[in-house]
Amino acid sequence: MRIVLLGYGKMGKVIEGIALERGHEIVGRIDETNRADFASFSPATADVVIEFSHPTAALQNLKDSIGQGLPTVCGTTGWLEHRSEIEALTAKTSGAFFYASNYSIGVNLFFRLNQQLAKLISPYSEYQVEMTEIHHIHKKDAPSGTAITLAEGILEVNNRLSQWALEEGDGRSTLPIKALREGEVPGTHVVTYESAVDSIEIKHTAHNRQGFALGAVVAAEWLVGKVGVFGMDDLLGV
C-alpha cells in the first residue's frame, strides 16, 4: 500500500514506523515545509492519505486530499464544525473518508463502557458527572476530540444533561470537561460520577502513541477500495 503522510510531526513519524513494519511504502511525507508537493499526488501515485496535522490545517488538507481522489484517514481534531462539508465533498466525488477522534482499540472499547455506565446511572439524579482529560503541552485543541466523543456518548443516553462545557458545568444539566496540558502525556481520560455517599470512576490511560498509530494504519488498510464516510464502529464491526 502506498501511503502519503499529510502531517509529519511526532504522530506522523510513529505512523510511518508502523506502516513500514507492516510492509507498506511511504511515498510522501508532507508538512508545512513542503505543502505544495501534495498537489502532485493522485490515485495513480498513492493508495491512501493519512492526515494527522493541526486543527487550522486539517480542513484544507482534507478538501485537497479528497478532491484529488485519494482515500483519506484523518486523526486531526479541532475542526469538526466543518465535518458536514467534508462529508458532502466525499459524497460528491464518490470518495472515501475515515475519521476517528481516537484510533486506539482500547479507547474505542472505553467509549462503549462509558456509554453503558452513563445509561445505567441516568435514572439516579443524585450522581453528578464530570470529565477530566490530560494531554501533552503541544496539543492545540481543548477539550480533546476523545473527550468530546465521550461527552456526546453520555449526553445521548442521559436526559438530564443537555450539553457539555469546557471547565464549566454543574454535572447535573451541563457536563463539565477539565482539560489539562502536562509534559508529554499521550492521553488520559477520566469520567467521574459523584454522589454524597460514593464515587464511580472509569479511566483510560495511553502509555504511548503506538496504539493510536496502529489503529490509523489498520484503518487505512481497511479503507482502500471503499466508497463513503466511515469511522471506528465500521472498522470494528459494532
88 annotated as a binding-site residue: no
Give the pLDDT score at 125.
92
Which residues of the chain carry a pLDDT beneath 70?
238
The torsion of the CA quartet 68, 100, 219, 82, rounded to 10 degrees, works out to: -10
Give the pLDDT score at 133.
97
Active site residue 189: no
Give the pLDDT score at 20.
98
Segments making up each domain of the chain, as ranges: 2-103+210-236, 105-205
76 annotated as a binding-site residue: yes
Return d(Cα 26, Cα 85) in angstroms, integer. Answer: 28
Return d(Cα 23, Cα 126) in angstroms, integer. Answer: 53
CATH fold label, 2-103+210-236: Rossmann fold (3.40.50)
Domain 105-205 has CATH 3.40.950.10: no
Active site residue 135: yes
Give the pLDDT score at 117.
97
159 annotated as a binding-site residue: no
Read off the pTM.
0.80
Give the pLDDT score at 78.
87
- Tell me which of 139, 178, 189, 226 is the catalytic residue: 139
101 annotated as a binding-site residue: yes
Q: pLDDT tens digits, residue range 167-218?
A: 887 778 899 999 999 998 889 999 999 999 999 999 999 998 898 999 999 9
- Tell me which of 135, 140, 178, 189 is the catalytic residue: 135
Give the pLDDT score at 238.
64
Return d(Cα 175, Cα 154) in angstroms, integer. Answer: 9
Q: Are 129 and 193 in contact (CB under 8 A)?
A: yes
Give the pLDDT score at 169.
74
90 annotated as a binding-site residue: no
